[in-house]
Amino acid sequence: MTDESSGIDRSKPSIARVYDYLLGGKDNFPVDREIGDFFLRDLPGSVAIAFANRRALVRAVGAMADDGIRQFIDMGSGLPTADNVHQVAQRHAPDAHVVYVDNDPMVLAHGRALLATDDRTAVAQADLRAPETIRQHPEVRRLIDFDRPVGVLFSAVLHHLNDDERPADVVRWWADRVAPGSLVYVSHFRSGANEETRLAEQKLQGSLGRGRWRTDEELLGLFGGLELLEPGLEFCSSWRPDPRDGVTGDLTVWERLISCGLARRN
């Protein structure tokens, strides 16, 4: 059933709402919880992927702000949660501008409510696969100056593009159009060539029609000609670790199934 006033279809699962459920949020429906419960019940421990990804995103935004980035575009941002990109960025740089991009109408509705009093942050409803539409979106044009360095975030979103949707070309499109000194962050499901990978990928493909685990070689290929910064491509839990995240000792098999990296456009 679709809510005609908001455009939200409660009968079909949403990537953003499944993530919201796995992270403990309340902005989801039974159809989303069915997928989430599969991971919680049948693949115990797999929720560590979502938390490892979120913590790495917070560290990446802080690192980008500390490197002088004052404007960010968060591709496939998902539903608001604790430590949103604009909150992290503005802790480091109060003048930071942030645009969230997502094609889920529920993200748009919640984002507008959250950001009603913040004129430095906006949400744009657009499709990751149509980058020119994103660049020309009124909110992007209002807040982002492409003559200055930009932080472009692809946090846990490119693995929802199938191979024929050419995720590396999406990253390259932006890398070719942002100013030198811009930073590009990517986190992505990493194939462990194991049963956990197979089952998780099978579930997402069967329920959402998308969800692709990729090899380290494929993940490195997403960065194209960008300069990959230290420590390179790394498990999210191990990427520039912060003791406050409480990650100690050996990583679980699930924490090894999502990696990330930060790269510079020279």
Under the banding of pLDDT at 50, 70 and 90, the label for residue 7 is low
Return the percentage of the chain with pLDDT > 70, whole number. Answer: 96
Under the banding of pLDDT at 50, 70 and 90, the label for residue 2 is very low
The pLDDT tens digits for 46-103 are 899 999 999 999 999 999 999 999 999 999 988 877 789 999 999 999 999 999 999 9
Range scoring the smallest mean pLDDT among 79-83, 142-146, 199-203, 227-231 = 79-83
* Of 51, 70, 39, nearest in space to 199 by CA: 39
Average pLDDT over residues 40-46: 90
Under the banding of pLDDT at 50, 70 and 90, the label for residue 260 is very high
Average pLDDT over residues 158-167: 95
- Distance, in Å, from the CA atom of 250 to the CA atom of 240, rounded to the nearest integer, reads 16
Angle at 30 between CA 126 and CA 17, to 5 degrees: 30
The pLDDT, as a whole number, for residue 248 is: 65
CB environment 60-90: b (16+ within 10 A), e (fewer): bbbbbbeeebbbbbbbbbbbbeeebbbbbbb
What predicted TM-score, i.e. pTM, was given to this entire model?
Answer: 0.92
User: How would you classify the pairing of strands 258-264 and 234-235?
Assistant: antiparallel
Instruction: Give me the domains of the chain, ranges plus CATH numbers.
Output: 2-264 (3.40.50.150)
Residue whose token pair is 């000194």 = 181
DSSP characters for 149-163?
--EEEEES-GGGS-G
Residue 222 has pLDDT above 70, yes or no: yes
The pLDDT tens digits for 14-31 are 888 888 888 888 888 999
The pLDDT tens digits for 168-206 are 999 999 999 999 999 999 999 999 888 988 999 898 888
* pLDDT, averaged across the chain: 91
The pLDDT, as a whole number, for residue 6 is: 53
The pLDDT, as a whole number, for residue 1 is: 47
Range scoring the smallest mean pLDDT among 6-15, 34-43, 100-109 = 6-15
The pLDDT, as a whole number, for residue 20 is: 87
